Amino acid sequence: MSHSLAISRRQSALLLLPAAIFFTAFFLLPMLRLFFISASGQLGWSAYLAIVSDANYFRALWTTLAVAAVTTLLTLVISAISGVFLQRHAFPGRALLVSALTLPLAFPGVVVGFMVIMLAGRQGLIGEVFALFGGERPVFAYSLAGLCMGYVYFSIPRTILTIMAAAEKLDPRLEEAARSLGGSPWHVVRDVILPGLRPAFVSSGAICFATAVGAFGTAFTLATRIEVLPMLIYTEFTLSANIAMAAALSFSLGAVAWLALALARSAAGATVAAAG
Amino acid sequence: MKHGKLLLSLQFAFTLAVCAFLVVPVVMSILAGLTVNYFVGLQSGLTLRWVFEVWDAYRDTLFLSLGLALACLALTLLLGVPLAYLLARSRGRLARAIEELLMLPVAVPGLATALGLIVAYGGFAGFRTSAAFILVGHVLFTLPFMVRSVLAVLSVIDLPTLEEGAASLGAGFWQRFRDIVLPNCRNGILAGALMVVTLSVGEFNMTWLLHTPFTKTLPVGLADAYASLRLEIGSAYTLIFFLLITPLLLTLQVLARPRRQSFAAPDNTIENAS
């Protein structure tokens, strides 16, 4: 029986080939080309060293990593509090709340940037509120804080979904046991809930980090002055026509993003499927 | 227990605040797109003037984005569904490696993928200046979502039993693929299709480098409008984008709810509707 079901070589080739040809022609080969071009500048292969030795590039690298780290931390804390709460408690309007929280799921970076301008721009809501109380209008949309806010805005929806799914699988008996043994709510959170959510934190945190490292649209909308790596790549390529350096920076950026995802996968094991 | 109640109210208030953080700017931008003068405020009156202005100047971007999304969907179906089936049938190390490889264009920043395409194919002027150049990038970026979505469904249904049944009745390989596999992963295909269309319509990171002045997509037009036009027009443009993307997202949310898996033959009503 199983013999009749086996896929022949020809059949697997027919199933695989369309995707394989497309992927090779438009991703693998271009990337290979880009890799060699990254060493074709004046610096040769040491273009990769320049990322660490050149003060400008190095600062941009650190800024990018710092923004991504802060974004990840904020997103995880916010999503954990709201996600666990929403998973645990049924109340009228809950479904609506969950819908609203996941609505920005597919906003492109440029739109997220515009949302930040709406909140913290020159005519933004936060400024209005401060002005109402007679204070000075804070305008931070066009700074690193604004960028961070945009990335958090972008990351909350998918992180909340992952954490809600993980919270659903937590065993409530463990919490009851902890409580019956006299654990305070804080102890239950620290020793039972947080460890249970760890795999979800790791996987969604990695996606959050990788997205914040590589995203371009939000920074582009907010300001060309924000010196994060994706913006630097863009200016190297378009303004300085330094394709070799842009390529080297792209590969380094890609490596950081990929590494974050790969580390998370090996840390979380096969128990957590990466969220789409 | 009083302590617990306070904690609960705090959590509830916090969740409401997060929700406001996400929703308030959306509402503000919608209102701004419909206000005569945003600086003066709502008392300046409501108008559709900005929406019409955007429609006149930028409707091409909307149609290009929709066309690209549909072409992207067709290609990801053609390339992705057969691949997902192959991966579901052969869960070996090679299959895992292929799955991993496919995810690279998602993991790697869009700027890098776009640069790769430009250095490799930028010299072919006819290709470089056409919308197909953007399409290629979108397919690379969305293909893994289609494959994963179909694969997720295929790996929970009992494919071997179904296929054995069909084979014992004399169905050949391609007939089984068409009559057994495809109908059974319909949910996965549907979810994947919505994901692909949504992502393609919103893609900016790659598209910004791949586009030309004659191939501007909706997000590219948005970036243009934000950078150079008055706030009301940027907002009205965003409003049009919301109108396009919200139905897609809401359908995705409905589909994301726990789906029933059935072995039953697809009922004819749905079959005919699709």
Residue ranges per structural domain of chain A: 1-37, 48-268
Residue B11 has pLDDT above 80, yes or no: yes
Q: What is the pLDDT of residue B2?
A: 59
Stretch B185-192: mean pLDDT = 88
Q: Are B195 and B102 in contact (CB under 8 A)?
A: no
Q: Which residue has the higher pLDDT, B76 or A177?
A: B76
**Amino acid occupying residue B127:** F
Please count the residues of chain A.
276
Stretch A80-108: mean pLDDT = 88
Stretch A88-105: mean pLDDT = 87
Q: What is the pLDDT of residue B235?
A: 92
Burial of residue A78, with CB atoms counted within 10 A of its CB: 0-12 exposed, 13-18 middle, 19 or more buried: buried
Per-residue burial over A120-149, b = 16 or more CB atoms within 10 Å of its CB, e = otherwise: bbebbebbeeeeeeeeeeebbbbebebbbb
Residue B263 has pLDDT above 80, yes or no: no
What percent of chain A is predicted at pLDDT more than 70?
Answer: 95
- For residue A274, the 8-state DSSP code is P
Nearest CB neighbour to B222, from listed A12, A18, A110:
A110
Q: What would be the CATH architecture of the domain defined by A48-268? A: Orthogonal Bundle (1.10)
Task: From residue B187, give the alpha-carbon distance in Å to each of A99, A235, B134, B143.
Answer: 21, 43, 28, 17
Residue B267 has pLDDT above 60, yes or no: no
Q: Is some CB atom of chain A closer than 8 A to the CB atom of B13?
A: no
Q: Per the structure block, which two tokens stand in for B1?
A: 């227990």
Contact assignment for A8 to B173 by CB distance below 8 Å: yes
Q: What is the pLDDT of residue B264?
A: 41
> What is the band of B260 on the pLDDT scale with cuts at 50, 70, 90?
very low
Q: What is the pLDDT of residue A224?
A: 64
Stretch A198-207: mean pLDDT = 90
Cα A39 to Cα B267: distance, rounded to the nearest angstrom: 59
> What is the band of B179 on the pLDDT scale with cuts at 50, 70, 90?
confident
Per-residue burial over A192-227, b = 16 or more CB atoms within 10 Å of its CB, e = otherwise: bbeebbebbbbbbbbbbbbbbbbbbbbbbbbbeebb
Q: Is some CB atom of chain A closer than 8 A to the CB atom of B245?
A: yes
Residue A269 has pLDDT above 70, yes or no: no
Q: What is the pLDDT of residue B72?
A: 97
> What is the band of A33 on the pLDDT scale with cuts at 50, 70, 90?
very high
In the predicted model, what is the mean pLDDT of chain B?
86
Nearest CB neighbour to A153, from listed B22, B209, B250:
B22
What percent of chain B is predicted at pLDDT more than 90?
Answer: 50
Q: Which residue has the higher pLDDT, B127 or A142?
A: B127
Residue B154 has pLDDT above 80, yes or no: yes
Residue A221 has pLDDT above 70, yes or no: yes
> What is the band of B257 on the pLDDT scale with cuts at 50, 70, 90?
low
Cα B261 to Cα A84: distance, rounded to the nearest angstrom: 27
Stretch A115-132: mean pLDDT = 87
What percent of chain B is predicted at pLDDT more than 70?
Answer: 92
Contact assignment for B226 to A85 by CB distance below 8 Å: no
> What is the band of B173 on the pLDDT scale with cuts at 50, 70, 90?
confident
- A216 phi, psi to nearest 5 deg: -130, -35
Q: Which residue has the higher pLDDT, A122 or A115?
A: A115
Q: What is the pLDDT of residue A265?
A: 80
Q: What is the pLDDT of residue A47?
A: 85
Q: Which residue has the higher pLDDT, A218 or B269?
A: A218
Q: Could you state, in order of their start, the residue ranges of all structural domains in chain B?
A: 60-220+247-257
Q: Which residues of A touch B168 (CB under 8 A)?
A: 1
Stretch A231-248: mean pLDDT = 89
Indicate the fold that domain B60-220+247-257 takes in CATH. MetI-like fold (1.10.3720)
Contact assignment for B102 to A106 by CB distance below 8 Å: no
pLDDT tens string B192-237: 999 899 999 999 999 999 999 999 999 999 999 998 888 889 999 9
Q: What is the pLDDT of residue B258?
A: 54
Residue B122 has pLDDT above 80, yes or no: yes
Nearest CB neighbour to B108, from listed A86, A114, A254:
A254
Chain B segment 28-47 residues within 8 A of A by beta carbon are 28-29, 32, 38-39
Q: Which residue has the higher pLDDT, B120 or B93?
A: B120
Q: Are A153 and A112 in contact (CB under 8 A)?
A: yes
Contact assignment for B115 to A220 by CB distance below 8 Å: no
Residue A1 has pLDDT above 70, yes or no: no
Q: What is the ipTM for the molecules in this complex?
A: 0.86
Q: What is the pLDDT of residue A271?
A: 40
Contact assignment for B26 to A276 by CB distance below 8 Å: no
Q: What is the pLDDT of residue A178?
A: 86
Lowest-pLDDT range of A270-274, B106-110, B220-224: A270-274
Q: What is the pLDDT of residue B3?
A: 65
Chain B interface disruption, residue of A107, A114, A216, most B CBs within 10 A: A114
Residue A246 has pLDDT above 60, yes or no: yes
